Amino acid sequence: MNGHESEDLADQLHSAALHLLRQLRKEDDASGLSAPRLSALSVVVFGGPLTLGELARAEQVRPPTMTRIVTGLEKDGLIKRKGDPRDRRLTHIEATPKGHKVLAAGRARRVEKLASAVGKLERKELAELRRGVQLVREVVASMRGKPA
């Protein structure tokens, strides 16, 4: 495949991924959380516990912004802060059971929405989609510099 074909396909994949995520993000409204709070909660659930600085870097925001997000999540009972026994200046942020539950419910809504659309495909299309998903995973792994 030449460079132009690669760029064209990459552009189409980028566009499709954005449209897919926008459609699925509509399901997130049911959580009652803003997109930044939901994103931060996801990072804490799947990558936590983390310090505020680590979470801010992961979400690509400044620490004061992350402090406001974390304060809101804490007020909602979705995360809790724990002091570091070795370094009293550090606070670790971890998800509560309620935080895990909210995130799992949101994922279930998004997967259900997507499954409904995927379920309308023919058997051959499902096989093609399955192979396409594997290829996307390989592309993502290669971008990270890791094997799929």
Examine residue 11 and state whether it is found in any structural domain, yes or no.
no
Q: What is the pLDDT of residues 8-18, one digit of tens each?
A: 999 999 999 99
Q: Which residues contact 113 (CB under 8 A, 6 or more apart)?
A: 23, 24, 27
In the structure encoding, which two tokens stand for residue 86, read together?
A: 């070795």
Cα 132 from Cα 114, distance rounded (Å): 15
pTM, two decimals, is 0.78
Examine residue 13 and state whether it is found in any structural domain, yes or no.
no
Tell me the CA distances in angstroms from 79 to 62, 74, 99, 139, 142, one per residue in order.
Answer: 19, 5, 6, 33, 33
Q: How many other C-beta atoms are found inside a 10 Å radius of the C-beta of residue 21? A: 10
CATH number of residue 45's parent domain: 1.10.10.10
* R_g over Cα of the chain: 19
Examine residue 138 and state whether it is found in any structural domain, yes or no.
no
Task: For residue 1, name the pLDDT band (cuts at 50, 70, 90).
Answer: low
Range of the domain at 104: 24-121
Decide if 54 contacts 70 (C-beta within 8 A): no
Examine residue 8 and state whether it is found in any structural domain, yes or no.
no
Q: What is the pLDDT of residues 122-139, one digit of tens each?
A: 999 999 999 999 999 999
Examine residue 32 and state whether it is found in any structural domain, yes or no.
yes
Question: Based on the structure, what is the number of domains in the chain?
Answer: 1
